[in-house]
Structure 1
């Protein structure tokens, strides 16, 4: 497991803590790429998370640690509530692909933790036991996953972006996913994005919170005579289920989506 600084600004802030011997940001990127490649070669499986200076400073303050001590860095990286931010490294390009995913994973991890707290740790913690309402949460999680599946199946093949939001105590819960739906029915998206979408939908359904979901992008492909069209569909929930509704979200005007009950 390793922590990776994801910007030149973060690198400069972390200099005082002696997290790296690199002379500058470019050297740090090179050193990190070499480290990841070597770790993959030796261990086969490598996991990483974003090393966020503000999170680290807060963690050290909370636990009375010296941020310049290696032990403080190690405790921060293995902190259980932050395990949702971990990603497997699979030889991706560091700057162009993996680092942006690390940034999104941190944001998603914080949202997942928020959703978990709303459910009395029913997603990630000991409340998953049947004695503490586990079956209800599992049922809602499966319902959220099924709603998401029906949205993707009903959309047909294409390249889409999905965004859902739930109006929750403590602030809105957001989840996003980028989806490729191939003509043979295969759907491609990152596992961590799928997990977050299902968790946010689950929290809204269990707590009966209002929410909205938006699916937009390019529908079609080469198998359909090369025909493509821009689409944007949306659904809203009063807390119990999602129904077609016109929604404007993040600058996208979406028409009421198709009936999810009509999708097998």
Structure 2
């Protein structure tokens, strides 16, 4: 009997290692304070809460094959409970919500890193996810062109992808850091992309980052509003090079060397000049061309 019981326990432990674990994390004091209104949430001190979460993560990582952390948003949690008819003052509801948000993809795998390293990455991924969802909703809501019947959002995304590929191809070898900034109706959309290109090798980039970047750029193209892209290229033994483009009627127009210098060396709040960054060259943007057959829609 004892051997049978031990075998069963061993099998359960083996099964437990195959079950992933997910922890919903309240990253700041404000979110933590919002959850204290629920009696079933027993923590009273945020630093102690974070300490206990870190201990839990270490324990889970030894018991599970894979442990992830998701950002727990109290306001979104309350909305989720209203929509699903769940009692928000319940650990079961919190668990279900955590599973739902983890399924959306904005998570960080726990591999033993300290929380002060994990949290910034988690926040960054959550912001990227929210930006992509918002940009996608904007593109989906524009509808079809009244003249040609084409889906404006889809056409804008195709054009954005073409211009992004053109930019990467023309940038040449090096480590490239791209930033796209587009003002939208409710918020400033920002996308960042890192690309590494060898002298005789194709560009290497994260496919998710690339899709997010193209989606944000597509919003600016579809709305034919302001916005722009900046590119910083680093290569060995040479100064970093900064270039820029502005959106005009759905196309990226290269900035001159003087415009790039002015954009980087002017305080955005006061308009006062700033000192140039040491070891950096300010260069004009290069022509990206325009994909055929995709004129701006009105």
Does the 8 A contact of 1:6 with 1:99 survive in 2? no
**Which digits, 9 at most, give the CA deviation of each residue in 1:168-206, with x for residues without a partner?**
222322112233334453544444322211111122222
The equivalent residue for 2:186 is: 170
User: In the alignment, is residue 259 of structure 1 matched against residue 284 of structure 2?
Assistant: no
Pairing 1:30-49 to 2, within 5 Å after superposition: 30-36=55-61, 38-39=63-64, 41=65, 48-49=69-70
User: In the alignment, is residue 141 of structure 1 matched against residue 157 of structure 2?
Assistant: yes
Does the 8 A contact of 1:177 with 1:194 survive in 2? yes
Instruction: For residue 151 of structure 1, report the CA deviation from its aligned partner.
Output: 2.0
The structure number with the bigger radius of gyration is 2
More displaced, 139-148 or 243-252?
Answer: 243-252
Does the 8 A contact of 1:159 with 1:180 survive in 2? yes
Q: Quick one: distance in 1 between partners of 2:73 and 2:286?
A: 41
The equivalent residue for 1:230 is: 240
Q: Quick one: distance in 1 between partners of 2:62 and 2:141?
A: 36
Does the 8 A contact of 2:108 with 2:122 survive in 1? no
Q: Quick one: distance in 2 between partners of 1:83 and 1:24?
A: 24
Instruction: For residue 64 of structure 1, report the CA deviation from its aligned partner.
Output: 6.2
Q: Quick one: distance in 1 between partners of 2:26 and 2:233?
A: 28
More displaced, 192-201 or 133-142?
Answer: 133-142
For structure 1, the residue ranges without an aligned partner over 5 or more in a row are: 222-226
More displaced, 177-186 or 189-198?
Answer: 177-186
The equivalent residue for 1:29 is: 54
Does the 8 A contact of 2:31 with 2:73 survive in 1? no
User: In the alignment, is residue 241 of structure 1 matched against residue 242 of structure 2?
Assistant: no
Does the 8 A contact of 1:178 with 1:189 survive in 2? yes
**Which digits, 9 at most, give the CA deviation of each residue in 1:61-80, with x for residues without a partner?**
66665433134324433558
Does the 8 A contact of 1:5 with 1:11 survive in 2? no
The equivalent residue for 1:50 is: 71
Does the 8 A contact of 2:71 with 2:126 survive in 1? yes
Count of residue pairs the alignment pairs up: 243
- State the TM-score, normalizing by the size of structure 2: 0.64
Q: Quick one: distance in 2 between partners of 1:166 and 1:178?
A: 18
Q: Quick one: distance in 2 between partners of 1:33 and 1:146?
A: 45
For structure 2, the residue ranges without an aligned partner over 5 or more in a row are: 1-20, 269-273, 277-281, 291-298
